[in-house]
Amino acid sequence: MSPRLGMAPLRREQIVRATIRCLARDGYAGLTMKRVAVEAGVSQGILHYYFRDKAAMLAAAARRVTVDLDRRVAAESRRARDARGRLRAVIRACLRTAVDNRDFWTVFIEFWGEAFHERRLAAVNRQAYARARRLIGAGLARGISAGEFRRIDVKEAATVVLAVLDGLSLQVTFDRGLMTLPRAVRAAETVLFRYLENGDPT
């Protein structure tokens, strides 16, 4: 059964959002086409029109939460005037997502677990991280050119930035009382700016 003209993007988004809710509630092990169809309010026939299997739905969910994070970063970056300001925006957006939207990391934990066994998901993960390194690296390169950051291998530095943000975000997501958002932001800024400015993260 094919969707009505013009409905396809809306229906697909409806299914992806339902998949995210099911993952947050039941995990990947409990994810079924039937449960997602019920959650989305569509027939299983409609569901199979958009996604051939669970892995395809998981990949779509990971892409969706990544797009949501991109929007948060863009919103935080609007008032940034330099590379330091843009990096601060990335830090705030990532850590705020960990505090406000636990579904983001719930989806990615499930996604990473399956990526070890499913080559399609592993490819999506590699592409997502390569893209993130490029975007962060572009900002770092501007900072180096402007004299805000020391001369450093941009790809390596972007990898370090992602490692700090992923690690801290995961801890804040799963240990809700660990630290407040402002404290987490200060911790990340201290480590990353020391590393980018003089190579000493301590």
Q: Which helix (H) or strand (E) covers residue 41, if one does?
A: none
Q: What is the pLDDT of residues 59-68, one digit of tens each?
A: 999 999 999 8
Instruction: Report all structural domains of the chain as residue ranges with CATH numbers, in order of start.
Output: 1-52 (1.10.10.60), 54-198 (1.10.357.10)
Cα 124 from Cα 133, distance rounded (Å)? 14
CB 129 within 8 A of CB 159: no
CA distances to 48, 93, 144, 193 from 53, rounded to whole Å, are 7, 32, 45, 43
**Nearest to residue 82, comparing CAs of 33, 147, 134, 27?**
147
Amino acid code (one letter) for 177: G
- Cβ neighbour number for residue 75 with a 10 Å cutoff: 12
Write down the pTM of the prediction: 0.85
What integer best gives the mean pLDDT of the chain? 90
- Residue 8: per-residue pLDDT: 79
**Nearest to residue 36, comparing CAs of 44, 11, 50?**
44
Name the band, by pLDDT with cuts 50, 70 and 90, for residue 200.
low
Annotate 44-87 with three-state secondary structure: HHHHHHHCCCHHHHHHHHHHHHHHHHHHHHHHHHCCCCCHHHHH
CB 185 within 8 A of CB 91: yes
Q: What is the pLDDT of residues 31-62, one digit of tens each?
A: 999 999 999 999 989 998 999 999 999 999 99
Indicate the DSSP class of residue 4: P
- 9, pLDDT greater than 90: no
Cα 112 from Cα 91, distance rounded (Å)? 22
Cα 169 from Cα 19, distance rounded (Å)? 22
